[in-house]
Amino acid sequence: MFELIIFEILGVLNSSSRYFHWKLNLCVILLILVFMVPFYIGYFVVSNIRLLHRQKLLFACVVWLTFMYFFWKLGDPFPILSPKHGILSIEQLISRVGVIGVTLMALLSGFGAVNCPYTYMSYFLRNVTDADILALERRLLQTMDMIVSKKKRIAVAHRTMFQRGEVHNRPTGFWGMIKSVTTSVPGSENLSLIQQEVDALEELSRQLFLETADLHATKERIEYSKTFQGKYFNFLGYFFSIYCVWKIFMATINIVFDRVGKTDPVTRGIEITVNYLGIQFDVKFWSQHISFILVGIIIVTSIRGLLITLTKFFYAISSSKSSNVIVLLLAQIMGMYFVSSVLLIRMSMPPEYRTIITEVLGELQFNFYHRWFDVIFLVSALSSILFLYLAHKQAPEKHMAL
């Protein structure tokens, strides 16, 4: 589908051939997203439940029918239904897939628009010195020494008890456990209290280790920010911060005034520049080529960003039993994401290149998807700003407390 978008801009293949391939691709991907992948997800979920092994196929069908019910009811709260189309028409299916995918895109875009400048800009880096790292490492070593010392006391106490025969003569059962906890032998260590202290110190050592690793990473980022490449990314951070503010402002304007752009941003930007400078410029020719480059960048970065995010998520929660289900869930999310990308990228193309895409997608409420994207993007961006602000504010306080 992304190749066909590029073909629309470059005029590759005949229009009838592009239309046929658009139709074929959309039908196949909707068949996979709505029928095949959800059924197999239900099948593998049921396969992991021992009680349902004999009737796996039946219960997989029940899970798929449940998915179809909620998938179909998803269209009730949104203005995406049309009585003109059949139940299994492309418009009815892609409208619901688009709601889920656009929501996912807006959430990722809102977080990325805030997190990218926060990650790249050296302004947000904590001021970490070698003395801070050495002090924390010294605290960590002292904690480890205390843990070793207390565990040694526990081992010595166990050996002493074994030599006295207390281990073999110790009463068993529930009342024996109560007695061993409530009574102590004269001259012996209180093992339960020492073990509690060891557990507390081990938890403290884990926190100190994570904080030490975080300080080392911050120190490396400070050194990296002084290099040429670091300064380049710092500049990109300022650029993306301006873009983030502009995007949040435009999303707010679009929501408040119920506005949707009619002209693609490339053509609109070139027209404003030409009118302001008063020069002769072939807007149509250059908007075509710049749109081609812009759409290509959007496609590559969106695919890369989604794959990186989903890969991290996969590594975090995957296991031997759930790997098949997780892979299919990622495939479902990616498919909905890419179908929704076509809906939104359409607005970034000049009007003459949208014709076939609009015909294939059918009579969808394109304005609704753009407004919905703005709403979710704004909520995601503002939530990300609040979260990163609290995390950034808490980090120095945590460091000072330690």
Contact 59, 42 (CB under 8 A): yes
Closest-CA residue to 223 (of 294, 139, 130): 130
So what's the pLDDT on residue 346?
74
Give this prediction's pTM: 0.67
So what's the pLDDT on residue 95?
83
Mean pLDDT over 202-224 rounds to: 87
Contact 373, 110 (CB under 8 A): no
Contact 267, 283 (CB under 8 A): yes
Hey, what are 268's tokens?
């609109």
187 has a pLDDT exceeding 50: no
pLDDT band at 37 (very low <50, low <70, confident <90, very high): very high
- Cα separation, 60 vs 38, in Å, equals 9
* 382-394: pLDDT as tens digits: 898 888 888 777 7
Q: CA-CA distances (angstroms) from residue 308 to 99, 106, 113, 302, 312? A: 23, 17, 16, 10, 6
Q: Rounded mean pLDDT of the chain?
A: 77
Closest-CA residue to 44 (of 31, 29, 59): 59
- Cα separation, 144 vs 186, in Å, equals 29
Per DSSP, the chain holds a count of helices (H) and strands (E) of: 15, 0
What is the distance, to the nearest Å, from the Cα of residue 281 to the centroid of all Cα atoms in its chain? 42
Q: Residue 362 region, left (φ>0) first, then alpha (ψ -120 to 50), else beta?
A: left
What does the longest C-alpha to C-alpha distance in the chain come to?
Answer: 101
Closest-CA residue to 401 (of 190, 148, 176, 136): 136
Whose tokens are 């073999």? That residue is 168
* 314-354: pLDDT as tens digits: 776 766 677 788 888 888 888 888 888 787 777 666 677 77
Residue 54, SS3?
Answer: coil
172 has a pLDDT exceeding 60: no
User: CA-based Rg of the chain, rounded to a whole angstrom?
Assistant: 30
Mean pLDDT over 193-217 rounds to: 88
Closest-CA residue to 21 (of 34, 12, 32): 12
AA letter at 319: S
Give buried/exposed letters for 296-315 (b at 16+ CB in 10 A, else e). Answer: eebbeebeeebeeebeeeee
